[in-house]
Structure 1
Amino acid sequence: MRKMTNKNKVLAAVGALALVAGGGGAAYAYWTTTGTGSGQATNSVGEGTVTLHANFTDGLAPGDVRTVGYTADNADPNTSTKVGVLSATVTTDKAGCDSAWFVVTADTSNTTVAKNSSGTSVGSGTLTFNDSATVDQGACKGAVVTITVGSV
């Protein structure tokens, strides 16, 4: 390796000083301006609703407990929707078959239902046909038991 002479050292120092001075001057240059602006976009026109379903096996008899699966369909092609707290009630189609003999639960899942989808699992629960030792529950033979499910 060659040794650097004094002349080369001076030239290197002057070159470095020129670079720093040139760069330093550029650091102080700036533009000033004022202005305003705005922007806008239209959100999709999603309905934000889903169709909920309760699914359980038939053949209930007094004392039976069935697992209930809750699913949701979202027909909106633009927007996914979140299903929050589930609520469920029981009705029957036969006179004398008291819906109070049935207990239904619905566990909340806070599930997002994708746009344009169907059959998304959104929770589960149980359906119990309470057995009464004092009342004849024969009116429920052949009855259609319906679970109505809602969400907030």
Structure 2
Amino acid sequence: MLFRFAFLTLSSCLSRQYYFVDKNMTWAEAQTYCRQNYTDLATLENANNTNSLIAAALNSSYNGTAWIGLYDDVINGWRWFLDDDTLYGPGEKHFRNWSNIWYQEPNNLGGNEMYTQMYPQGSWNDCQCSVLIYFVCYNKTTIYKLSQTIRSLCD
């Protein structure tokens, strides 16, 4: 006797589309803008995401810093607002690209640098939230992949 079983598997992955916004805003204003018009300020979990952001900024001919969504939670340290562990691969949630061009970052210069700006080449700096600069938002989309597996059992 032969039994055939078909298993349908639905898997998903999170994809992000980045949007460079050429408006000068504080970090909090930028976050509000991103949440109203997109999903949130940019979350970066690897060098490929960073390169996508750099490409978006270069397409706009912008050569300054831009806000991203990493912030210093005084209790838990540096973290992204997109905090669900299931959305990250191994090591991605803790990806950091701090600059060491002038100082070793993050350095909390002045005691109130709790937000992150990205330099044009992709490295990061901690900064006060009151600085007016451009920013990067993202939209999340979930891509679903349906796969079918057929198994046979012989009796």
TM-score by length of structure 2 reads: 0.27
- Structure whose CA Rg is larger: 1
TM-score by length of structure 1 reads: 0.27
Q: Which has the higher contact order (CA 8 A, sep 6+)?
A: 2
Structure with bigger strand share is: 2
